[in-house]
Amino acid sequence: MRKSILLPLLALLITLSIIPSARATDTRELEPVADSYVNIDHPDTNYGNYSWLSLESHYMMDELSYNKFDLSILPEDAVIEKVTLYLHVGWLSDPEEVIVCNSGTDWSEMEITWNNRPGYEQTPTDIVYISYGEKWYS
């Protein structure tokens, strides 16, 4: 059985706690500069122009969401102490875990598909249990 989660695009942002050298801690909020998802059932389809992101059960790993954040706005000497990803779930078929992983490879929002998707680190950065739709999670 497939489990689905839809995430409105404006709902993803990260909060960074950074320490620029010789300055106090600063907190910044960043919205994604690119986002899309990929689907194994449609391996050559790009979803970069959709107004939502879709995730399927992580056990099947047949849909993956990608979000890109531009960190170049941070000072060169900034040290990132903490990153918090916020997401708003618009619709949820069943309670589910969202696994957050890093992808160190560049990708294009309007070109990414299942067949050309970048890899990701196998060790999750975080795991968030999603139990209700129309709610913020971090």
Per-residue pLDDT reduced to its tens digit, 113-135: 999 999 888 888 888 888 877 77
Taking the domains of the chain in order of start, what are their residue ranges? 4-137
Q: Given pLDDT bands bounded at 50, 70 and 90, which one contains residue 28? A: confident
Helix (H) or strand (E) holding 17: strand 13-19
Query: 82-107, pLDDT tens digit by residue?
Result: 788 888 787 777 777 888 888 878 89
pLDDT of residue 42: 94
pLDDT of residue 125: 84
Question: Torsion-angle region of residue 134: left (phi > 0), alpha (psi -120 to 50) or beta?
Answer: left
Q: Given pLDDT bands bounded at 50, 70 and 90, which one contains residue 38? A: very high
Q: Give, in order, the Cα–Cα distances in Å from 114 to each of 13, 70, 74, 106, 110.
A: 24, 23, 31, 15, 13
Amino acid symbol at 86? Y
Token digits for 16?
């960074």
As to burial, measured by CB atoms within 10 angstroms (0-12 exposed, 13-18 middle, 19+ buried), residue 63 is buried
Residue closest to 97 by CA, chosen among 66, 58, 136: 58
Residue 4 has pLDDT above 50, yes or no: no
Find the range with the poorest average confidence among 11-15, 58-62, 87-91, 131-135: 11-15
pTM: 0.78
